[in-house]
Amino acid sequence: MSSEGHDLTSELLYGMRLLGLQYRRIELAAPFGVGFVKAAGRAQFHFVSRGPVLLRTQNGQLRTLNTGDALLLPHGSDHVLLSSPDVACKDIRAFNTTPVCGNVCCIKDCEQVPAAETALIFSGCMEFDLGGMQMLIGSMPEVLLADTLIHKYPEVQPMLEAMERESLGKRAGYAGILARLADVVAALIVRGWVESGCGAAGGWLEALRDPKLGKALVALHRDPGKNWTVAQLAAEMGSSRSVFAERFLAVTGMTPVRYLTSLRMQLAAQWIGRDGESIESVAWRLGYGSLAAFSRAFKRTTGTTPGALRSEESRRAAIQA
């Protein structure tokens, strides 16, 4: 990856929002099958405190998760945790829950079974927001595993061991500690994937790896409110307008103008919905001369209005509170 591409992908980590919305400590006796349904804009984190457990992903692939394994499903796609491949599945929302604290609850379906013979999982449904880098999520694989990071990031291992101790011991305050550790481990999983070159992902990431085109993308992301022209971006790349436009479209699948609009609207959604910034301020920051022009662009790109987004985020915040 070029130095510019590396700089750009590193910058996304500063604005990353990977925040647990709901956590569950799940203790089950075999046979069991627990289904998790995709929720838009949500990632799913699992830590196996006592295994083994089978994970079946949306494409039908099975993988074994052993004690101490942690993983993130960045797309939050449909998946199932199983005791064996052929067991019946029950939606996670159909289990009886016992509140522990805040947004943590317990599910226990293992009556009269010794604890050592049960599976124990700590799960978190997380808001996953990369702001202007949101398109990077689409390049991520279905499953990201923590064990692939340990050789390069040894600090992950003590956190996994702490999660295992807290989940098994259930000492005072364990639920809150587990939730915070889950947030950190999930963020480390994402950082490890980014810093390792984002796997074999292509498309937009191919543009970042391009030593010339990457310069234009860096410029767009660092100053999205500037009134960029194709000629200015071509100059960043050091090429003619026609060569730049053709290369940009071929690699990203968008024209430079459409890409910039998409980037601006992703940032707008983050600043209005997540950060609570005023619509007027966001319109000005992103280079729009009037609130009406910004609102039209926002609705055309996202399908909703900035005001409707603000109302929906307020409603969600009230529910979570």
Using alpha carbons, list the distances in angstroms from residue 139 to 44, 46, 75, 202. Answer: 16, 21, 10, 7
Tokens of 254: 């968008």
Here the CATH number for the domain that contains residue 271 is: 1.10.10.60
Residues 33 and 177 both lie in one domain: yes
Domain count, the chain: 2
Beta strands per DSSP E along 85-167 = 90-91, 98-101, 104-109, 119-129, 144-145
Is 132 inside any structural domain?
yes
- The answer, as to whether pTM is greater than 0.85, is no
Could you list the residue range(s) of the whole structural domain that residue 293 is in? Answer: 204-320
Residues 70 and 183 both lie in one domain: yes
Instruction: Assess contact for 266 and 299: CB atoms under 8 A.
Output: no
Express the helix, strand and coil content of the chain in percent, nearest 5 each: 50, 20, 30
Residues 51 and 158 both lie in one domain: yes
| Per-residue model confidence as pLDDT tens digits over 96-130 | 999 998 899 999 988 888 878 899 999 999 988 77
Residues 142 and 267 both lie in one domain: no
Determine the pLDDT at residue 125: 94
Here the CATH number for the domain that contains residue 50 is: 2.60.120.10
Residues 83 and 178 both lie in one domain: yes
Give yes or no for residue 2 having a pLDDT over 50. no
Give yes or no for residue 21 having a pLDDT over 70. yes
Is 84 inside any structural domain?
yes
Instruction: Assess contact for 146 and 70: CB atoms under 8 A.
Output: yes
Determine the pLDDT at residue 319: 46
Last residue of a domain, one of 195, 229, 244: 195
Residues 184 and 305 both lie in one domain: no
Is 258 inside any structural domain?
yes
| Per-residue model confidence as pLDDT tens digits over 67-95 | 999 999 999 899 999 999 999 999 999 99
Last residue of a domain, one of 160, 195, 230: 195
Residues 216 and 240 both lie in one domain: yes
Tokens of 295: 């609102």
Cβ-Cβ contacts under 8 Å for 19 (sequence gap 6 or more): 126, 127, 183
Residues 264 and 290 both lie in one domain: yes
| Per-residue model confidence as pLDDT tens digits over 207-266 | 666 777 878 887 888 889 999 999 999 998 888 999 999 988 888 888 999 989 988 998
**Mean pLDDT in residue range 142-155:** 85
Last residue of a domain, one of 176, 195, 214: 195
